[in-house]
Structure 1
Amino acid sequence: MSKKLSSMLIIFIILSVMISCNKNDLLFTKVDLNNVNEEIKSSLSNYYSENGIYLYENGADEVYLFLNGYNVAQGEKSYYYDDISMEVKDKTLVINFSEKYADNYENKEVENRQLYKINKPENIDTIKVFSNEQETHFDAVIVSK
C-alpha cells in the first residue's frame, strides 16, 4: 500500500512541476499579422519601414510585442528573431529572444516580422527586453485607444 501511495505522490509531484513549467508558455502567443484587427494593423504599419523592437498596447488591455527585421539595405544581411521566451521574475516581465542573420533575405522560412500577444500578468511593474542575452530597449512603445 505504501509503495502505491509513494508512486502516486511522485507522479503528482512530477505533474505539478511540469504544469508550473508550462505557465510561462501561457504568457504569450504568436499571432498572424494578417489576422489582427484593423486598428492593430494600422498602428503597426506606421513602423513597417523601421526595423526594431516595439511594444503595442491598446485601450482594451491588449499588449503585443512586434519584432520587425523586414527592411534590408541592398548588400546587407537580413536579420530575424528566434528563440522568443517570456517569464515573470519578481514583478518584472522578462522578454528574451535571439537576433539572427540570414544571407538570403528572400528565404520564405525566415520570419522577419513577428507579432506576439502578451497575456500580461497584473502583478508586474517593469518590462525588460533582452536580445542575444544583452539587455536592450524598445524602439517605440505604441499606445492606441
Structure 2
Amino acid sequence: MKKLVTFLVVVILLSGCNSELTLSKVTPKGNNKTLQSFTTNAQDQNGVYLYLDNPKTIYIYLNESNVIQGEKATYVTDFKVEKDGNTLKILYNTDKTSNYSKPKLNHELLYKIKLDKKYDTIRSFQNGEEVSFNAVSGK
C-alpha cells in the first residue's frame, strides 16, 4: 500500500511538471483590466501586439479593423504558433476584401498562448514575411 501511494505521488508530481504549448482564442472582456486596457489602446492602429502576462502566458492581439476609405479591408485567415529551439514563432495569414460588412471575417483577434518553456526570442510572421510587433507590454 505504501508503494502504491508513493507511486501515485510521483506520477502526480511529474504530470504537474509536464507542460505543453497551447493556444486558445479569447476575448478581452473577462480578462484582467491591464490586458483589456492594452487591447483598447491598440485598436487605433492595425498590426500585431504582444502582451506578456506572466512567465508562462502571453497574449497576441491581431488588429486589422481599421480600414482607409476606398481601400480593401484586411482580415486574418489563420493563426498558429511554432517552436524552433529557443524561438517562438507567431504565424498568421491575412487576406483582403472589398466586402467590409461580412460578419464572419476576423478583423480583430486575441489569442492566449500558454508556454511550455521560457523562450529567448518571439518572432511574428504575416503571410510568411517577418513583421515587428507594433507594441509589447505586460506585467
Superposition TM-score tier, normalisation by shorter sequence: 0.7 to 0.9
Question: What aligned pairs does 1:58-97 form with structure 2 within 5 A after superposition?
Answer: 58-59=53-54, 62-97=57-92
Corresponding residue pairs, total: 121
CA distance in 2, matches of 1:59, 1:97: 23
Superposition deviation, residue 102 in structure 1: 1.5
Q: Aligned equivalents of 1:102 and 1:38: distance in 2?
A: 33
Residue 61 of structure 1: CA displacement?
Answer: 5.1
Q: State the one-letter code of the partner of 1:95.
A: I
Aligned-partner Cα distance in 1 for 2:51–2:67: 23
- Give the number of the structure whose residues are more often helix, by fraction: 1
Q: Alpha-carbon deviation of 1:60?
A: 7.5
C-alpha contact 2:74 2:95 (8 A) present in aligned 1: yes
- Look up the match of 2:16: none
- Runs of 4 or more above 4 Å deviation: none
Contact kept in structure 1, 2:49 and 2:60, CA below 8 Å: yes
Q: Is 1:129 paired with 2:124?
A: yes
Say which is worse superposed, 58-67 or 94-103, in terms of deviation.
58-67
Compute the RMSD of aligned alpha carbons: 2.0
Give the superposition deviation at 1:100.
0.9
- SS of the residue corresponding to residue 91 of structure 2 reads strand
State the 1:124 CA deviation. 1.6
Q: Tell me by how many angstroms 1:55 deviates.
A: 0.2
Structure 2 regions of 5+ residues with no counterpart? 1-18
Q: TM-score, normalised by structure 2?
A: 0.78
- Give me the whole-angstrom Cα distance separating, in 2, the residues matched to 1:62 and 1:119: 5
Separation in 1, partners of 2:113, 2:34: 17
TM-score between the two structures when normalised by the length of structure 1: 0.75
Q: What's 2:25 paired with?
A: 30
Q: Deviations over 1:2-25 (max 9, x none)?
A: xxxxxxxxxxxxxxxxxxxxx98x
Native 8 Å contact 2:56 2:118 kept in 1: no
Unpaired stretches in structure 1, ≥5 consecutive residues = 1-22
The secondary structure found in structure 1 opposite 2:29 is: helix
Paired residues of 1:28 and 1:116 also in contact (CA < 8 A):
yes
- 1:140 is aligned to 135
